[in-house]
Amino acid sequence: MRIFNKEIINKEGQEVELMGWVATRRDHGKIIFIDLRDKSGISQLVFTLENKEIYKTADKLRSEWVIRVKGEVKKRPKGMENPELETGQYEIAVNFLEILAESKTPPFDVSTDGYKVNEEIRMKYRYLDLRRPRLQKNLKLRAKFIKFIRDFLTEKGFVEIETPIITKSTPEGARDFIVPSRLQPGKFYALPQSPQQYKQLLMVSGFEKYFQIAKCFRDEDSRANRAYGEFTQLDLEMSFVEQNDILELTERLFTELIMQIFPEKKITQIPWPKINYHETIEKYGNDTPDIRKNKDDKNELGFAWVINFPLFTKQTEKDFFYGSGKSKWAPSHHMFTAPYPDDIKLLDTDPGKVRGLQHDMVLNGVEVGGGSIRIHDPKIQEKVFELIGFTKEQKGRFEHMLEAFNYGVPPHAGIALGLDRLIAILQNEPNIREIIAFPKTGDGRDLMMNAPSEADKKQLDELHLKIIETKKNKS
């Protein structure tokens, strides 16, 4: 029965069976050494002329071939140990070898960290790139990270609920990916920018505590800490709570997560500081303060909350998602954020002075999440729509929300946290793509799958679509 490489440390003197990839080969004349890699690590295999047939087969082995071996676990000769490997005191004297699959010469060495390899080559051969120990570690840690969140919230009485991936296009602050409907010609779905509306409707439904590890889709330009097209967030919502309830729950979750999964990390300040928006602008010059004492210490984590944002900002041309373009105001966060109760009267007289019950979570000078107390009064929601200049047609896109809010909606609040960005910071990775299994390039291409690609005429006809030739798409 096959065992994993790391298990050989408890099998001295025993016959074992291993399977994996040839990581490296060293030919010392009458002895061939092969480093065998599997998901658990490396084992050193030893082939000698005592068994000429096996030695002859071993002589054919090349990098990334897949093999199956059997042999006895032995202690390495004194002075030949490798302290950098967990299995470095042991080796396998091979008495059986089977080649399961051969490999072409890889386009790059997967044993390095990969940072110096051309990214487009890495993305084209991502299935090879993912063999790197660094990326294997990142994705395994990501799984552990998400499991901790699931266990923590489930224990606190949250219900994990999946929300739709094809939904309605509504103006929420970024470009939608739209999906044509075959059954309803001329009409379109959209991929969700976030589960925002669904999670608020789940509060109307009486679930009170919801969470989801959610896929979100936005047609935004890529950058180092934002992946193109899609990202993963922790989405949660609670009913009958105040702002501090959300902050305390989130802070407890991530403080405990850091202590358990990243024990080498040190949080700068516990409890996390709460900084007013105007204070952080005045002191740090931005709304993402880096509160670390030593910014060169990769193991220091400066978590902070930024609160008391203005509810509105002045609308500019980039806010084309909001209103008719004639309004003075755009939402500082989004149009569902509740104003401070004391400031509601200012909605009619001086909207620029209205504070929003918004909270942003910041880590080491980077925004990693945000949320708010939500509007649950349909009259206030209508007023916010009016102030940001929504047309009648745009208001109509939220008819389902406004209608639902006439049926006893509880006060509720929530937060959404960018897991890709968080894990990248915690793993000290320079780019968010290093902790995503199959990311797009900076310009939104999947080089491995060759996407986006053209649709054939039959597909377009079924969807009642026609491609209009322009100079841009001809080139």
pLDDT tens string 335-375: 999 999 999 999 999 999 999 999 999 999 999 999 999 99
Residue 109 lies in a domain: no
What pLDDT does 389 receive? Answer: 87
Q: Does 90 lie in the same domain as 142? A: no
Both 70 and 139 in a single domain?
Answer: no
CA 184 to mean position of chain CA atoms: 33
Do 22 and 158 belong together in one domain? no
- Residues annotated as binding site for L-aspartate? 172, 218, 333, 374
Tell me the Cα Rg of the chain: 28
Is residue 396 domain-resident? Answer: yes
Instruction: Indicate which CATH number applies to the domain containing 399.
Output: 3.30.930.10
The answer as to whether 463 is a domain residue is: no
> What's the whole-number mean pLDDT along residues 455-462?
93
DSSP letter, residue 275? E
Q: Are residue 94 and residue 133 in the same domain, yes or no?
A: no
Give the residue-averaged pLDDT of 392-406: 90
Cα separation of 331 and 356, whole Å? Answer: 10
Q: Are both 97 and 227 inside the same structural domain? A: no
Q: HSE of 314 in the Cβ direction (CA atoms, 13 Å)?
A: 1
Q: How many CB atoms lie within 10 A of CB 473?
A: 9
Same domain assignment for residues 257 and 403: yes
Residues 214 and 272 in one domain: yes
Q: Please, are residues 118 and 98 in contact by the beta-carbon 8 Å criterion?
A: no
DSSP for 320-388, please give it: TTSTTS--SEEESS-TTBPBPGGGTTHHHH-GGGPBB-EEEEEETTEEEEEEEEBP--HHHHHHHHHHT
Instruction: Tell me the two tokens of residue 30.
Output: 């009458």
Q: Is the pLDDT of residue 133 over 60?
A: yes
In this prediction, residue 318 has a pLDDT band, given cuts at 50, 70 and 90, of: low
Total structural domains within the chain: 2
State both tokens at 362.
Answer: 């910041």
Given a cut of 90, is residue 93 above it in pLDDT? yes
Q: Are residues 46 and 182 in the same domain?
A: no
pLDDT on residue 474: 58
Q: What is the model's pTM?
A: 0.93
Give the distance, in angstroms, between the CA of residue 83 and the centroid of all CA atoms in the same chain: 34
Please report the beta strands in 289-423, taking only residues with DSSP state E, as ranges in sequence order. Answer: 300-301, 303-307, 312-314, 329-331, 358-363, 366-373, 412-418
Q: Which residues participate in the annotated binding site?
A: 172, 218-220, 333, 367, 374, 418-421
User: Looking at the structure, do residues 161 and 271 belong to the same domain, yes or no?
Assistant: yes
Contact 321/172 with Cβ under 8 angstroms? Answer: yes
Question: Does residue 160 share a domain with residue 19?
Answer: no
Backbone φ and ψ for 140, nearest 5 degrees, come out as: -65, -40
Using 50, 70 and 90 to split pLDDT, how confident is the model at 323?
low
The model's confidence at residue 326, banded by pLDDT at 50, 70 and 90, is low
Tokens 């902070």 -> residue: 304
Under 8 Å between Cβ of 299 and 265: yes
Same domain, residue pair 142 and 263? yes
Mark whether 343 and 416 lie in a shared domain. Answer: yes
Mean pLDDT of 83-91: 96
Residue 144 forms part of a structural domain: yes
Residue pair 295/345 in contact by the 8 Å Cβ criterion = no
Residue that finishes a domain, picked among 60, 82, 101 = 101
In the chain, DSSP finds a helix count (H) and a strand count (E) of 14, 19
Reported in sequence order, the residue ranges of 194-326 that DSSP labels E, i.e. its strands, are 209-218, 229-239, 266-267, 274-276, 300-301, 303-307, 312-314
Beta-carbon contacts of residue 401 (< 8 Å; ≥ 6 apart) = 197, 200, 201, 381
pLDDT at 260 over 90: yes
- Binding residue positions for ATP: 218-220, 367, 418-421
Query: Residue 94 is part of a domain; what is its CATH number?
Result: 2.40.50.140
Q: Which residue has the higher pLDDT, 331 or 36?
A: 36
Concatenating the DSSP letter of every residue in 398-429 gives THHHHHHTTS-PPPEEEEEEEHHHHHHHHTT-
Distance CA 89, CA 91 (A): 7
More confident residue, 25 or 328: 25
User: Of 74-78, 222-226, 321-325, which has the strongest mean pLDDT?
Assistant: 74-78
Domain span including residue 18: 5-101
